Amino acid sequence: MERPTGEPATHDPEWVDDMLLGGGSADVCLRLPEPVDRGTLRRLVAEAQTRLAAAGLRPGGAAALRLPPSLAYVVNLLATWRSGAQAVLLDHRLTDHEVDRALARLTPQVVVAPSHVAGGALRVFVDVTETVHRYADRPATSGHAVIQLSSGSTGPSKVIGRTADDLVAEVRRYTRIDGVALPGERIVLLPSMVHVLGLVGGLLYGLHAGVELVPPTRLSGDAILAAVRAQDTPATVLGVPFHIGLLASTRPDGPLPQFRRMTTGGELVPAATAQAFADRFGVPLGNMYGMTEVGVIGTDLHGEHRPSIMPAPGIEVREVDGELQVSCPASPYVGLSDPTRWADGWLHTRDAGTVDPASGLVTVKGRLDSQVSVGGMKVDLSEVESTLTGLPGVAAAVVVYDDGITAYVQPDGPLTEETLDGLLAERLAGYKRPRTLHLVDQLPRTTTGKLVRSVPALRLTAP
């Protein structure tokens, strides 16, 4: 199925049937909370294919999906791929302006959007009635099976493409990782399926491996634990550090023998948060490191090597001048030629880190742009940030260099700048301490839950 990225997408739909839609018709694959079996899912996908074709979707074209997490999203995604077309995934939380810019650039043949959404703001999955309308009569702009936009935590989003071969290889990679949910078990799915962790690590892997996907009814600690407790089969909670905080602050109502582990992706988990989670639940807190461009890069799902991870099967990681680079045969970027991001089969992660030559363990040390010079002294802003997040009364923090080291701190309870500065003085040398401290009600986050590190966006939060 490997094709040059510049050619129109003409994906063989057999990979969808072979990898994702097989199995017994009565086997339950989703609980929303009503069970959806594979026979029902196959029927809904076939019906959606008919609607997409009637609206103008053709093999080699593209369908833009602007849908919240829902059965409609799952069905239209699989129907698009089964039609031999490209799926452009647009987070439903994007503004109309952002969506219009993406559509003008990617020119899909059809756009799928909700005409009616039922469910509150905190619902993880909602009931959606979708509409399909024609947008452009032209083939897809690249030969990728899926187009995603990067989270944009440090700047503008990038357009990232992955082929059907890429997705199949990553799903198979998951089956070889020690500690993932096994057939007959459940994944309590918290991250959005528009983004790579929820898409491949949750939806695609679950459909392929026969693991039930169980989103909680609401995004709250009590609802997550209720989803774990709802059935007797083992459950893995899949989320991001924000979700760990939700659970760490929730007291379980009785034993939870079904709760096997939690796996988190995204940004690094503060040590204090990891400890609070372990103290509360007594189950492994696994770590997963990856990027939209290549999917999962490395894991530590048993919590044995924190903060290090072991490269995932088939993934090669190297360290060059302090930067982690990942093997990637073709550039994943659509409409972008930038050798500082990808060159000669290697993706530049722009993450600082090391690779242990003996064990192969990879240690991620934060973003490369976190290294600054203060009075001739090198300061790692990630060290300052990690120190801040480990302090009592701090829920989250972002440290940037803005005419000096500047910290934006979201308190968790009573906290003053004077108290914070005093605690830092005990832990950091003077040249490392923030020159400016801002206590803010809420730090901005991306649609994937990552903390935003854009200085202009952070300035808007300061009182």
429-459 confidence digits (pLDDT tens): 888 999 999 999 999 987 667 788 888 999 9
- Enumerate residues 6+ apart whose C-beta is below 8 A from 191: 197, 198, 202, 238, 239, 240, 243, 265, 448, 449
pLDDT, position 156: 53
* Separation of alpha carbons 443 and 199, rounded Å: 26
pLDDT tens column, 117-130: 887 667 888 899 99
pLDDT tops 90 at residue 259:
yes
Q: How big is the CA angle at 198 (ends 104 and 451), to the nearest 5 degrees?
A: 75
Q: What are φ and ψ of residue 297, in 5° steps?
A: -105, -45
pLDDT band at 376 (very low <50, low <70, confident <90, very high): low
Instruction: Cite the beta strand spans of 1-77 per DSSP E.
Output: 28-31, 35-37, 62-65
Tell which wins on pLDDT, 336 or 90: 90
State how far the alpha carbon of 139 is from the alpha carbons of 66, 107, 162, in Å. 19, 8, 17
| Most confidently modeled range among 202-206, 265-269, 363-367 | 202-206
Contact of 247 with 216, CB cutoff 8 Å:
no
Smallest CA-to-CA distance from 188 within 291, 256, 261, 289 is with 261
Q: Give the span between the Cα atoms of 27 and 29, in whole angstroms.
A: 6
Structure-token pair, residue 75? 């069905």
DSSP state of 13: T
Residue 133 clears pLDDT 50, i.e. is over it: yes
As a whole-number percent, the residues of the chain with pLDDT over 70 amount to 94
- Which pLDDT score is estimated for 74? 97
Q: How many CA atoms lie within 13 A of 364 on its CB side?
A: 28
Q: Which one-letter DSSP state was computed for residue 199?
A: I
Cα distance between residue 374 and residue 428, in whole Å = 14
What integer is the mean pLDDT of 88-113? 90
- Residues in the chain, overall count: 463
Mean of pLDDT values over 398-404:
89
Residue-wise pLDDT for 4-35, tens only, equals 344 444 467 789 999 999 999 999 999 988 99
Domains of the chain: 14-287+294-300 (3.40.50.12780), 316-368 (no CATH), 375-459 (3.30.300.30)
CB 101 within 8 A of CB 159: no
Give the pLDDT score at 5: 40
Is residue 1 within 8 A of residue 12, CB to CB? The reply is: yes
pLDDT digits (tens, 9 = 90+) for 143-168: 999 999 875 544 456 899 999 999 99
Structure confidence at residue 272 as a pLDDT band (50, 70, 90): confident
Q: Is 439 exposed, middle or buried (0-12, 13-18, 19+ CB in 10 A)?
A: middle
Would you say 385 and 379 are in contact if contact means Cβ atoms under 8 Å apart?
Answer: no
* Residue 243 CB contacts under 8 Å (≥ 6 apart), including other chains: 190, 191, 224, 237, 264, 449
Partners of 279 in the beta sheet?
none
CB 399 within 8 A of CB 405: yes
Q: Can you state the angle between helices 221-229 and 241-248, rounded to 10 degrees?
A: 90
pLDDT value for 157: 64
Which range scores top for mean pLDDT: 97-101, 108-112, 398-402? 108-112
- Looking from the CA of 140 toward its CB, the CA atoms found within 13 Å total 32
pLDDT digits 0-9 by tens, 202-250? 999 999 999 999 999 998 999 999 999 999 999 999 998 888 888 988 8
pLDDT at 82: 97
| pLDDT average, residue stretch 177-181 | 95
